Structure 1
Amino acid sequence: MRAAREVAVHREPDDASERVTSLAAGEEVFVVETQGEWTLVLAPDQPTHLDPAGYPGWVRTDALAEADPLAVARGFVGTPYVWGGLGRDGIDCSGLVHVSFRAFGVRVPRDAADQAAAAVPVDDPRPGDLWFFGRPGEPVSHVGFVTEVGLLHATPGVGVVEQPMPEERRATLLGAGRLA
């Protein structure tokens, strides 16, 4: 199990409880137990005298996921768009894809056109696949995740958003693909 986004780790299963550490997006954890909306985890990449298996603490269960880059990407919703950005202070469309896969140890190219070249085309895209956009005869210039709603992407002037496919994007949709 891994952290789907950066998340606070608490001493007790309560938001008002002391924050003892944080998990980075994609950080591996071992699940000890679950109580409702809370999960007790050990963070093995954070050695401590408190537990030889890793730093212990409680996190919101919805902050954890199996290897799910889409879950990581959703953790960036609201992040501003910054050309060339790769973090919470600002991110671009291909950076969102790159970081979301990298959080689970999957190396993918940094740029949208290279991501499209690395993807296996799919005719029936499912959530977690990628939409690729551009003008015919030109390199892919935009990428976003396929979602149940439509599209999760980082776009200038808006930032990271999940929304139904905008008409202006639909007009430049080149296809969908899946990264391994």
Structure 2
Amino acid sequence: MAESLFDLSDPRLVPARPEIADARLRGHVAAERYVVGEARAVVVPSAPLRRTPRFDAGLETEAVMGDAVTAYGAEEGFAFVQFAHDGYVGYLPEAALGPALAPTHRVIALRTFLYPGPDLKQPASGWLTLGARLHPAETQGDYFRIAGGYVFAGHCAPLDAVEPDYAATAERLVGTPYLWGGRTSLGLDCSGLVQLCLAQAGRPAPRDADQQERGLGEALPPDFGDLRRGDLVFWRGHVGLMLDATRLIHANGHHMAVAVEPLAEAVARIREKSYGPVTSLRRLSPSAAS
């Protein structure tokens, strides 16, 4: 049944628009036509996912190289897709997609350059973010040859070589500019930071803060008395990650960056100026961040 495949209560996760929908949703949502999706992969360093097929539509989230998607059709240069890693749906530039791949490696540097050949003296042709997933065709010296160029192999690791301390990954990203909808090391929003860091620990996570609050970890007492490294702090529309019992790291619009600050200061400011009071504290179990 469609209800077991898709969360029909959350439009962000339902591959359906008035003009097109996943064939498995026939009888559950109305659409002009129903299609069987095609497995594709993102083959560019990054690409914006938008709610509508317009270049001036707001950024919902980002795709990065190696992301697997299901594509349902294209219009006006955009493909209507659903991400495999978090179920998010929207429109990607059609040119960002290529054949489905089976990635074997991921980028572990914050950023790394793409080159037209296996030589650091050649002019860089692009860059890849932390977490980009690769399927190297071959190794030439110190470089992997991938679709789109060559990348320094030392900035990559096998997919199963995870970083369990996801708080440490967040610390590496301090100073990264805030970007609404961002999920690369060039720009991040609050939930993008959490999702990216958990992914490096081998822990899948939903995309948005409210989804993460519903889907991650177990609730803690609301008195802030038992916080530890790796715990998540949620507001209505915001999330941060604890570095220890008193310090919070989060991508936020106040600093316009990923920043570390005392939790008490963040709680007071956010209550007064933006998202209101803390709505929950949650702990991933078993914790891998200690």
TM-score range, shorter chain: 0.5 to 0.7
1:143 lines up with 2:239 in the alignment: yes
1:132 equivalent among 228, 234, 237: 234
Query: In the alignment, which residue of structure 1 is the partner of 2:169?
Result: 72
> Normalising by the residue count of structure 1, what TM-score does the alignment of the two structures yield?
0.62
In the alignment, the residues of structure 1 paired with residue 261 and residue 137 of structure 2 have an alpha-carbon distance, to the nearest angstrom, of 36
The letter of the residue matching 2:259 is V
Pairing 1:175–2:280 present: yes
| Deviation of 1:107 (Å) | 1.2
Do the aligned partners of 2:177 and 2:187 also contact (CA within 8 Å) in 1? yes
1:6 aligns with 2:110: yes
Mind listing any 5+ residue stretches in structure 1 that lack a counterpart? 9-17, 28-43, 59-63, 134-139
Where do 1:12-161 residues align within 5 Å? Answer: 25=130, 48-50=139-141, 66-119=163-216, 120-123=218-221, 124-133=226-235, 140-148=236-244, 149-158=246-255, 159-161=257-259
Q: Which amino acid aligns with 1:168?
A: R
Rg comparison, structure with higher value: 2
Change over 3 Å in CA distance of 1:7–1:86 after alignment to 2? closer
How far off its partner does 1:4 sit? 6.3
Which residue identity is paired with 1:141? G
Counterpart in the other structure of 1:33: none
Q: Compared with structure 1, are the counterparts of its residues 89 and 125 closer, same or farther at alpha carbon in structure 2 (3 Å cutoff)?
A: same
Q: 1:173 to 1:102 in 2, by over 3 A?
A: same
Cα displacement (A) at 1:154: 0.8
Q: Equivalents in 2 of 1:57, 1:99: separation in Å?
A: 20
Aligned residues: 146
Q: CA 1:103 to 1:168, structure 2 compared with 1: closer, same or farther past 3 Å?
A: same
2:139 alignment partner, SS class: coil
Structure number with higher relative contact order (C-alpha < 8 Å, ≥ 6 residues apart):
1
Q: For residue 175 of structure 1, what is the amino acid of its counterpart?
A: S
Gaps of 5+ in 2: 1-105, 113-119, 122-126, 143-151, 156-160, 286-290
> Aligned AA for 1:146?
M
